[in-house]
Structure 1
Protein backbone atom coordinates (compact mmCIF):
# COMPACT_ATOMS: atom_id res chain seq x y z
CA UNK A 1 0.00 0.00 0.00
CA UNK A 2 2.82 2.33 0.91
CA UNK A 3 4.68 1.52 -2.33
CA UNK A 4 1.53 2.22 -4.34
CA UNK A 5 1.14 5.60 -2.63
CA UNK A 6 4.75 6.50 -3.39
CA UNK A 7 4.32 5.50 -7.05
CA UNK A 8 1.21 7.66 -7.34
CA UNK A 9 3.03 10.59 -5.76
CA UNK A 10 5.95 10.17 -8.17
CA UNK A 11 3.51 10.01 -11.10
CA UNK A 12 1.84 13.25 -10.01
CA UNK A 13 5.20 15.01 -9.60
CA UNK A 14 6.34 13.85 -13.04
CA UNK A 15 3.06 15.00 -14.57
CA UNK A 16 3.50 18.45 -12.99
CA UNK A 17 7.07 18.66 -14.28
CA UNK A 18 6.01 17.71 -17.81
CA UNK A 19 3.17 20.24 -17.68
CA UNK A 20 5.52 23.00 -16.58
CA UNK A 21 8.04 22.13 -19.29
CA UNK A 22 5.39 22.16 -22.00
CA UNK A 23 3.24 25.07 -20.92
CA UNK A 24 5.27 27.39 -18.68
CA UNK A 25 6.54 29.37 -21.70
CA UNK A 26 2.94 29.91 -22.73
CA UNK A 27 2.06 31.22 -19.26
CA UNK A 28 4.89 33.73 -19.33
CA UNK A 29 4.84 34.61 -23.05
CA UNK A 30 3.28 37.95 -23.88
CA UNK A 31 2.13 38.98 -27.35
CA UNK A 32 1.50 42.71 -27.36
CA UNK A 33 -1.63 44.18 -28.93
CA UNK A 34 -1.07 45.34 -32.50
CA UNK A 35 -2.57 46.92 -35.59
CA UNK A 36 -1.96 45.63 -39.11
CA UNK A 37 -3.20 47.41 -42.24
CA UNK A 38 -2.60 46.36 -45.86
CA UNK A 39 -3.50 48.61 -48.80
CA UNK A 40 -3.58 47.38 -52.39
CA UNK A 41 -4.96 49.69 -55.10
CA UNK A 42 -4.63 48.56 -58.72
CA UNK A 43 -5.83 49.72 -62.13
CA UNK A 44 -5.32 53.44 -61.50
CA UNK A 45 -5.49 55.65 -64.61
CA UNK A 46 -2.71 58.13 -65.27
CA UNK A 47 -2.95 61.65 -63.81
CA UNK A 48 -4.64 64.30 -65.94
CA UNK A 49 -2.36 66.65 -67.85
CA UNK A 50 -0.74 69.25 -65.58
CA UNK A 51 -2.75 67.90 -62.67
CA UNK A 52 -2.29 66.29 -59.29
CA UNK A 53 -3.86 62.89 -58.73
CA UNK A 54 -5.19 61.99 -55.30
CA UNK A 55 -6.47 58.76 -53.79
CA UNK A 56 -7.82 58.58 -50.25
CA UNK A 57 -8.67 55.50 -48.20
CA UNK A 58 -10.10 54.94 -44.71
CA UNK A 59 -7.83 54.47 -41.71
CA UNK A 60 -7.95 52.15 -38.68
CA UNK A 61 -9.50 54.10 -35.81
CA UNK A 62 -11.37 53.69 -32.56
CA UNK A 63 -15.03 54.60 -32.05
CA UNK A 64 -14.18 58.29 -31.61
CA UNK A 65 -12.35 58.39 -34.95
CA UNK A 66 -8.87 58.61 -33.42
CA UNK A 67 -6.29 56.70 -35.53
CA UNK A 68 -4.86 53.62 -33.81
CA UNK A 69 -1.75 53.63 -36.01
CA UNK A 70 0.56 56.61 -35.29
CA UNK A 71 0.56 59.32 -37.95
CA UNK A 72 4.32 59.10 -38.40
CA UNK A 73 3.95 55.45 -39.47
CA UNK A 74 1.33 56.30 -42.11
CA UNK A 75 2.74 59.40 -43.79
CA UNK A 76 5.71 59.89 -46.11
CA UNK A 77 6.97 58.66 -49.46
CA UNK A 78 7.14 54.92 -48.83
CA UNK A 79 5.13 54.20 -52.00
CA UNK A 80 7.02 55.00 -55.22
CA UNK A 81 5.44 57.95 -56.99
CA UNK A 82 3.16 58.87 -54.10
CA UNK A 83 3.28 61.09 -51.03
CA UNK A 84 1.04 60.03 -48.14
CA UNK A 85 -0.52 62.23 -45.47
CA UNK A 86 -3.48 62.24 -43.10
CA UNK A 87 -6.14 64.62 -44.33
CA UNK A 88 -9.30 65.95 -42.75
CA UNK A 89 -12.45 65.37 -44.83
CA UNK A 90 -16.16 66.08 -44.26
CA UNK A 91 -16.42 62.49 -43.01
CA UNK A 92 -13.34 62.44 -40.79
CA UNK A 93 -9.64 61.70 -41.20
CA UNK A 94 -8.49 59.68 -44.21
CA UNK A 95 -5.13 58.57 -45.60
CA UNK A 96 -4.40 60.56 -48.77
CA UNK A 97 -1.92 59.53 -51.46
CA UNK A 98 -0.89 62.30 -53.87
CA UNK A 99 1.00 61.90 -57.15
CA UNK A 100 2.34 64.89 -59.09
CA UNK A 101 4.31 63.03 -61.76
CA UNK A 102 3.27 61.82 -65.19
CA UNK A 103 2.21 58.40 -63.94
CA UNK A 104 0.36 57.01 -60.95
CA UNK A 105 1.65 53.49 -60.25
CA UNK A 106 -0.39 50.97 -58.32
CA UNK A 107 -0.30 51.41 -54.56
CA UNK A 108 0.85 48.53 -52.37
CA UNK A 109 1.87 49.03 -48.76
CA UNK A 110 1.50 47.37 -45.35
CA UNK A 111 1.66 48.85 -41.86
CA UNK A 112 2.45 46.77 -38.77
CA UNK A 113 2.51 48.56 -35.44
CA UNK A 114 2.63 46.90 -32.02
CA UNK A 115 1.30 48.85 -29.05
CA UNK A 116 4.10 49.22 -26.50
CA UNK A 117 3.78 48.88 -22.75
CA UNK A 118 3.34 52.18 -20.96
CA UNK A 119 6.32 52.43 -18.61
CA UNK A 120 4.67 55.34 -16.84
CA UNK A 121 1.39 53.55 -16.12
CA UNK A 122 1.85 54.11 -12.35
CA UNK A 123 1.28 57.84 -12.90
CA UNK A 124 -2.23 59.29 -12.73
CA UNK A 125 -4.05 59.01 -16.06
CA UNK A 126 -3.90 62.74 -16.78
CA UNK A 127 -0.09 62.63 -16.52
CA UNK A 128 0.42 59.64 -18.82
CA UNK A 129 1.57 60.07 -22.44
CA UNK A 130 -1.75 58.48 -23.47
CA UNK A 131 -4.96 57.87 -21.58
CA UNK A 132 -4.67 54.12 -22.07
CA UNK A 133 -1.85 51.66 -21.47
CA UNK A 134 -1.15 48.97 -24.05
CA UNK A 135 -3.06 46.34 -22.11
CA UNK A 136 -6.01 48.67 -21.68
CA UNK A 137 -5.94 49.46 -25.40
CA UNK A 138 -6.21 45.74 -26.21
CA UNK A 139 -9.95 45.94 -25.54
CA UNK A 140 -10.35 49.16 -27.52
CA UNK A 141 -12.83 48.47 -30.32
CA UNK A 142 -11.59 49.55 -33.77
CA UNK A 143 -12.38 49.35 -37.47
CA UNK A 144 -11.75 51.22 -40.72
CA UNK A 145 -13.13 54.75 -40.54
CA UNK A 146 -14.92 56.86 -41.72
CA UNK A 147 -18.23 55.07 -41.28
CA UNK A 148 -20.89 56.50 -43.60
CA UNK A 149 -23.70 54.08 -42.79
CA UNK A 150 -24.41 51.01 -40.66
CA UNK A 151 -27.21 48.42 -40.83
CA UNK A 152 -30.24 49.92 -39.17
CA UNK A 153 -28.42 53.26 -38.95
CA UNK A 154 -27.18 52.45 -35.46
CA UNK A 155 -24.32 54.51 -34.06
CA UNK A 156 -20.72 53.42 -34.51
CA UNK A 157 -20.32 52.65 -30.80
CA UNK A 158 -23.26 50.23 -30.99
CA UNK A 159 -22.42 48.74 -34.40
CA UNK A 160 -18.82 47.95 -33.50
CA UNK A 161 -20.03 45.57 -30.77
CA UNK A 162 -21.47 43.12 -33.32
CA UNK A 163 -19.58 40.01 -34.42
CA UNK A 164 -20.11 40.06 -38.19
CA UNK A 165 -21.72 42.65 -40.42
CA UNK A 166 -21.26 44.97 -43.39
CA UNK A 167 -21.12 48.75 -43.18
CA UNK A 168 -20.39 51.56 -45.63
CA UNK A 169 -17.10 53.42 -45.68
CA UNK A 170 -15.64 55.67 -48.39
CA UNK A 171 -12.73 56.12 -50.79
CA UNK A 172 -11.77 59.19 -52.82
CA UNK A 173 -10.44 59.74 -56.36
CA UNK A 174 -9.48 62.96 -58.08
CA UNK A 175 -7.21 64.27 -60.85
CA UNK A 176 -7.09 61.23 -63.10
CA UNK A 177 -7.36 61.32 -66.89
CA UNK A 178 -10.45 59.55 -68.28
CA UNK A 179 -9.54 55.89 -68.89
CA UNK A 180 -10.28 54.04 -72.14
CA UNK A 181 -13.81 52.69 -72.41
CA UNK A 182 -12.63 49.11 -72.15
CA UNK A 183 -10.41 49.77 -69.12
CA UNK A 184 -10.96 47.65 -66.04
CA UNK A 185 -12.12 49.31 -62.86
CA UNK A 186 -9.91 50.51 -60.03
CA UNK A 187 -9.65 47.77 -57.42
CA UNK A 188 -9.43 48.62 -53.73
CA UNK A 189 -8.23 45.81 -51.46
CA UNK A 190 -7.95 47.09 -47.90
CA UNK A 191 -7.52 44.79 -44.92
CA UNK A 192 -7.24 45.87 -41.29
CA UNK A 193 -6.57 43.50 -38.40
CA UNK A 194 -6.51 44.72 -34.82
CA UNK A 195 -5.09 42.11 -32.45
CA UNK A 196 -5.81 42.32 -28.75
CA UNK A 197 -2.70 40.38 -27.79
CA UNK A 198 -2.07 37.35 -25.58
CA UNK A 199 -0.99 37.21 -21.95
CA UNK A 200 -0.74 34.09 -19.74
CA UNK A 201 -2.63 31.97 -22.29
CA UNK A 202 -5.50 34.46 -22.43
CA UNK A 203 -6.04 35.73 -25.97
CA UNK A 204 -8.04 38.93 -26.45
CA UNK A 205 -10.43 39.61 -29.31
CA UNK A 206 -9.28 40.34 -32.85
CA UNK A 207 -11.10 42.87 -35.03
CA UNK A 208 -10.99 42.82 -38.83
CA UNK A 209 -12.38 45.23 -41.41
CA UNK A 210 -11.99 44.46 -45.10
CA UNK A 211 -12.78 46.32 -48.32
CA UNK A 212 -12.65 44.36 -51.58
CA UNK A 213 -14.36 46.30 -54.33
CA UNK A 214 -13.88 47.76 -57.82
CA UNK A 215 -14.69 51.38 -58.66
CA UNK A 216 -15.16 52.73 -62.18
CA UNK A 217 -12.16 54.72 -63.41
CA UNK A 218 -14.51 57.53 -64.37
CA UNK A 219 -15.52 58.08 -60.76
CA UNK A 220 -14.39 61.29 -59.08
CA UNK A 221 -14.76 62.56 -55.55
CA UNK A 222 -15.99 60.51 -52.60
CA UNK A 223 -17.23 57.02 -53.48
CA UNK A 224 -19.10 54.92 -50.86
CA UNK A 225 -17.86 51.32 -50.68
CA UNK A 226 -18.86 48.31 -48.54
CA UNK A 227 -16.65 47.03 -45.74
CA UNK A 228 -16.92 43.64 -44.05
CA UNK A 229 -16.51 43.84 -40.27
CA UNK A 230 -15.79 40.83 -38.10
CA UNK A 231 -14.94 40.16 -34.46
CA UNK A 232 -12.94 37.01 -33.72
CA UNK A 233 -13.55 36.09 -30.09
CA UNK A 234 -10.58 35.53 -27.81
CA UNK A 235 -10.22 33.02 -25.02
CA UNK A 236 -7.70 30.51 -23.76
CA UNK A 237 -5.07 29.89 -26.44
CA UNK A 238 -2.39 27.19 -26.42
Structure 2
Protein backbone atom coordinates (compact mmCIF):
# COMPACT_ATOMS: atom_id res chain seq x y z
CA UNK A 1 0.00 0.00 0.00
CA UNK A 2 2.81 2.40 0.92
CA UNK A 3 4.59 1.57 -2.34
CA UNK A 4 1.47 2.45 -4.32
CA UNK A 5 1.13 5.79 -2.51
CA UNK A 6 4.79 6.55 -3.13
CA UNK A 7 4.47 5.78 -6.83
CA UNK A 8 1.34 7.96 -7.08
CA UNK A 9 3.12 10.82 -5.30
CA UNK A 10 6.13 10.58 -7.60
CA UNK A 11 3.86 10.42 -10.65
CA UNK A 12 1.95 13.49 -9.51
CA UNK A 13 5.21 15.36 -8.92
CA UNK A 14 6.45 14.37 -12.37
CA UNK A 15 3.21 15.56 -13.96
CA UNK A 16 3.42 18.85 -12.05
CA UNK A 17 7.03 19.40 -13.17
CA UNK A 18 6.08 18.68 -16.80
CA UNK A 19 3.17 21.12 -16.61
CA UNK A 20 5.41 23.83 -15.15
CA UNK A 21 8.00 23.20 -17.87
CA UNK A 22 5.34 23.49 -20.59
CA UNK A 23 3.95 26.70 -19.05
CA UNK A 24 7.44 28.22 -18.79
CA UNK A 25 8.16 27.29 -22.42
CA UNK A 26 4.88 28.82 -23.60
CA UNK A 27 5.57 32.01 -21.64
CA UNK A 28 9.06 32.22 -23.14
CA UNK A 29 7.63 31.63 -26.60
CA UNK A 30 4.95 34.29 -26.09
CA UNK A 31 7.51 36.89 -24.98
CA UNK A 32 9.71 36.12 -27.98
CA UNK A 33 6.74 36.17 -30.35
CA UNK A 34 5.58 39.64 -29.35
CA UNK A 35 9.04 41.22 -28.94
CA UNK A 36 10.29 43.32 -31.84
CA UNK A 37 13.76 44.59 -32.71
CA UNK A 38 13.92 47.51 -35.14
CA UNK A 39 16.21 47.19 -38.18
CA UNK A 40 19.49 49.03 -37.69
CA UNK A 41 21.52 51.07 -40.18
CA UNK A 42 25.21 51.73 -39.59
CA UNK A 43 27.77 53.40 -41.83
CA UNK A 44 31.46 53.41 -40.97
CA UNK A 45 33.31 56.12 -42.92
CA UNK A 46 37.10 56.33 -42.88
CA UNK A 47 39.02 58.39 -45.44
CA UNK A 48 42.75 58.72 -44.86
CA UNK A 49 45.56 60.34 -46.84
CA UNK A 50 43.78 63.72 -46.84
CA UNK A 51 45.69 65.05 -43.84
CA UNK A 52 48.22 67.63 -44.93
CA UNK A 53 46.86 68.15 -48.45
CA UNK A 54 46.68 71.86 -49.29
CA UNK A 55 43.23 73.20 -50.14
CA UNK A 56 42.75 75.45 -53.17
CA UNK A 57 39.86 77.61 -51.93
CA UNK A 58 37.26 74.91 -51.29
CA UNK A 59 37.96 71.18 -51.35
CA UNK A 60 35.24 68.58 -51.81
CA UNK A 61 35.16 64.84 -51.17
CA UNK A 62 32.04 62.87 -52.08
CA UNK A 63 31.24 59.25 -51.23
CA UNK A 64 28.31 56.88 -51.83
CA UNK A 65 25.26 57.01 -49.57
CA UNK A 66 23.08 54.08 -48.40
CA UNK A 67 19.82 53.80 -50.36
CA UNK A 68 17.31 51.27 -51.62
CA UNK A 69 17.11 50.02 -55.20
CA UNK A 70 15.03 53.06 -56.21
CA UNK A 71 17.68 55.45 -54.89
CA UNK A 72 15.68 56.53 -51.82
CA UNK A 73 17.98 57.20 -48.88
CA UNK A 74 17.59 54.83 -45.95
CA UNK A 75 19.88 56.84 -43.67
CA UNK A 76 21.23 60.38 -43.35
CA UNK A 77 18.23 62.31 -44.64
CA UNK A 78 19.57 64.77 -42.09
CA UNK A 79 23.32 65.18 -42.52
CA UNK A 80 23.76 67.00 -39.20
CA UNK A 81 25.04 63.79 -37.59
CA UNK A 82 27.84 63.60 -40.15
CA UNK A 83 30.01 66.60 -39.27
CA UNK A 84 33.61 65.40 -38.83
CA UNK A 85 36.19 67.88 -37.57
CA UNK A 86 37.21 70.40 -40.21
CA UNK A 87 34.48 69.47 -42.68
CA UNK A 88 30.93 70.52 -43.53
CA UNK A 89 28.61 67.74 -44.68
CA UNK A 90 25.62 67.79 -47.02
CA UNK A 91 23.64 65.37 -49.16
CA UNK A 92 24.33 66.53 -52.71
CA UNK A 93 22.57 65.70 -55.97
CA UNK A 94 25.06 64.65 -58.67
CA UNK A 95 24.72 63.48 -62.30
CA UNK A 96 24.78 59.92 -60.91
CA UNK A 97 22.40 60.48 -58.00
CA UNK A 98 22.70 61.56 -54.37
CA UNK A 99 26.04 61.36 -52.57
CA UNK A 100 27.47 62.49 -49.24
CA UNK A 101 29.59 65.60 -49.82
CA UNK A 102 32.30 66.78 -47.41
CA UNK A 103 33.61 70.32 -48.04
CA UNK A 104 36.29 72.39 -46.32
CA UNK A 105 37.76 75.86 -46.75
CA UNK A 106 40.59 75.36 -44.28
CA UNK A 107 44.15 75.73 -45.50
CA UNK A 108 44.89 72.04 -45.11
CA UNK A 109 42.53 69.08 -45.11
CA UNK A 110 42.05 66.57 -42.32
CA UNK A 111 41.34 62.86 -42.50
CA UNK A 112 37.68 61.89 -42.16
CA UNK A 113 36.50 59.31 -39.66
CA UNK A 114 32.84 59.05 -38.77
CA UNK A 115 31.01 55.97 -37.47
CA UNK A 116 27.28 56.51 -37.22
CA UNK A 117 24.01 54.60 -37.14
CA UNK A 118 20.30 54.83 -36.55
CA UNK A 119 17.17 52.68 -36.38
CA UNK A 120 14.67 52.61 -39.23
CA UNK A 121 11.37 50.90 -39.96
CA UNK A 122 11.85 49.73 -43.55
CA UNK A 123 12.69 46.14 -44.41
CA UNK A 124 14.06 46.21 -47.94
CA UNK A 125 17.33 45.54 -49.78
CA UNK A 126 19.74 48.46 -49.72
CA UNK A 127 23.32 49.20 -50.77
CA UNK A 128 25.73 52.09 -51.38
CA UNK A 129 24.72 54.31 -54.30
CA UNK A 130 25.23 55.60 -56.93
CA UNK A 131 25.44 52.36 -58.90
CA UNK A 132 27.32 52.93 -62.14
CA UNK A 133 27.41 49.30 -63.30
CA UNK A 134 26.29 45.84 -62.15
CA UNK A 135 27.37 42.32 -63.18
CA UNK A 136 25.74 41.29 -66.47
CA UNK A 137 24.16 44.78 -66.56
CA UNK A 138 21.18 43.62 -64.51
CA UNK A 139 18.92 46.23 -62.92
CA UNK A 140 19.82 47.55 -59.47
CA UNK A 141 16.64 46.01 -58.06
CA UNK A 142 17.52 42.56 -59.42
CA UNK A 143 21.11 42.87 -58.21
CA UNK A 144 20.06 43.74 -54.64
CA UNK A 145 17.94 40.58 -54.48
CA UNK A 146 20.94 38.38 -55.18
CA UNK A 147 23.05 36.89 -52.41
CA UNK A 148 25.97 39.16 -53.28
CA UNK A 149 28.39 40.40 -55.89
CA UNK A 150 30.70 43.23 -56.92
CA UNK A 151 29.41 46.37 -58.63
CA UNK A 152 30.76 49.80 -59.59
CA UNK A 153 30.08 52.98 -57.65
CA UNK A 154 32.02 56.27 -57.47
CA UNK A 155 33.89 58.68 -55.23
CA UNK A 156 34.71 62.31 -55.99
CA UNK A 157 37.67 64.60 -55.27
CA UNK A 158 38.14 68.27 -56.12
CA UNK A 159 39.85 71.43 -54.86
CA UNK A 160 43.17 70.07 -53.62
CA UNK A 161 46.52 71.55 -54.62
CA UNK A 162 48.38 68.78 -56.51
CA UNK A 163 51.15 67.58 -54.17
CA UNK A 164 54.74 67.28 -55.36
CA UNK A 165 54.76 63.64 -54.33
CA UNK A 166 51.68 61.66 -55.30
CA UNK A 167 50.21 59.93 -52.25
CA UNK A 168 47.20 57.60 -52.04
CA UNK A 169 43.89 58.62 -50.53
CA UNK A 170 42.30 55.58 -48.90
CA UNK A 171 38.53 55.05 -48.78
CA UNK A 172 37.30 52.48 -46.26
CA UNK A 173 33.49 52.52 -46.23
CA UNK A 174 31.22 49.92 -44.68
CA UNK A 175 27.42 50.06 -44.62
CA UNK A 176 25.25 47.45 -42.92
CA UNK A 177 21.47 47.51 -42.58
CA UNK A 178 18.56 45.31 -41.60
CA UNK A 179 18.62 42.54 -39.01
CA UNK A 180 15.29 43.47 -37.44
CA UNK A 181 13.34 40.80 -35.56
CA UNK A 182 9.55 40.40 -35.54
CA UNK A 183 7.48 37.37 -34.49
CA UNK A 184 10.71 35.39 -33.95
CA UNK A 185 11.70 35.96 -37.58
CA UNK A 186 14.93 37.84 -38.27
CA UNK A 187 15.14 39.76 -41.53
CA UNK A 188 18.11 39.75 -43.89
CA UNK A 189 21.24 41.77 -43.16
CA UNK A 190 22.52 43.75 -46.16
CA UNK A 191 26.16 44.84 -46.32
CA UNK A 192 28.00 47.00 -48.86
CA UNK A 193 31.66 47.96 -48.63
CA UNK A 194 34.17 50.08 -50.53
CA UNK A 195 37.85 49.58 -49.80
CA UNK A 196 40.09 51.30 -52.33
CA UNK A 197 42.80 53.90 -52.85
CA UNK A 198 42.80 56.85 -55.24
CA UNK A 199 45.87 58.96 -56.18
CA UNK A 200 45.84 62.38 -54.52
CA UNK A 201 46.22 63.99 -57.95
CA UNK A 202 42.82 62.70 -59.13
CA UNK A 203 40.04 65.22 -59.68
CA UNK A 204 36.37 64.61 -60.43
CA UNK A 205 34.39 61.38 -60.28
CA UNK A 206 36.42 58.18 -59.92
CA UNK A 207 34.71 54.80 -60.52
CA UNK A 208 35.50 52.30 -57.75
CA UNK A 209 34.47 48.74 -56.92
CA UNK A 210 31.99 47.96 -54.15
CA UNK A 211 31.25 44.56 -52.61
CA UNK A 212 27.68 43.62 -51.71
CA UNK A 213 26.47 40.58 -49.81
CA UNK A 214 23.40 39.40 -47.93
CA UNK A 215 23.21 37.38 -44.71
CA UNK A 216 19.86 35.56 -44.99
CA UNK A 217 17.39 35.93 -42.15
CA UNK A 218 14.96 33.32 -40.89
CA UNK A 219 13.35 31.81 -37.81
CA UNK A 220 15.22 32.66 -34.61
CA UNK A 221 16.38 29.70 -32.49
CA UNK A 222 14.44 29.28 -29.25
What TM-score comes out, normalization by structure 2 length?
0.88
- Name which of 14, 33, 53 aligns with 2:20: 14
1:197 and 2:204 are equivalent in the alignment: no
The SS at the match of 2:150 is: strand
Report if aligned partners of 1:76, 1:83 keep a CA contact under 8 Å in 2. Answer: no
Q: CA deviation at 1:76?
A: 6.5
Aligned partner of 2:60 in structure 1 is 54
| Structure 1 unmatched ranges of 5 or more | 116-133
Query: Aligned ranges for residues 158-237 of structure 1 at < 5 Å?
Result: 158-181=142-165, 183=167, 185-237=168-220
Aligned length: 214
Q: Residues 58-113 of structure 1, C-alpha deviation per residue, up to 9 Å, x if partnerless? A: 000011111111421x2477211100001111100000000101111100112211
Aligned partner of 2:47 in structure 1 is 41
Instruction: Name whichever structure is richer in strand by fraction.
Output: 2
Q: Distance in 1 between matches of 2:49 and 2:13?
A: 71
Residues 52/182 of structure 1: CA separation in 2 closer, same or farther (3 Å cut) = closer
Aligned partner of 1:118 in structure 2 is none
Residues 161/70 of structure 1: CA separation in 2 closer, same or farther (3 Å cut) = same
1:112 and 2:117 are equivalent in the alignment: yes
**Bigger Cα Rg:** 2
| Structure 2 unmatched ranges of 5 or more | none
Q: Distance in 2 between matches of 1:190 and 1:230?
A: 14
What TM-score comes out, normalization by structure 1 length?
0.82
Residues 26/180 of structure 1: CA separation in 2 closer, same or farther (3 Å cut) = farther
1:94 and 2:99 are equivalent in the alignment: yes
Q: Distance in 2 between matches of 1:61 and 1:76?
A: 17
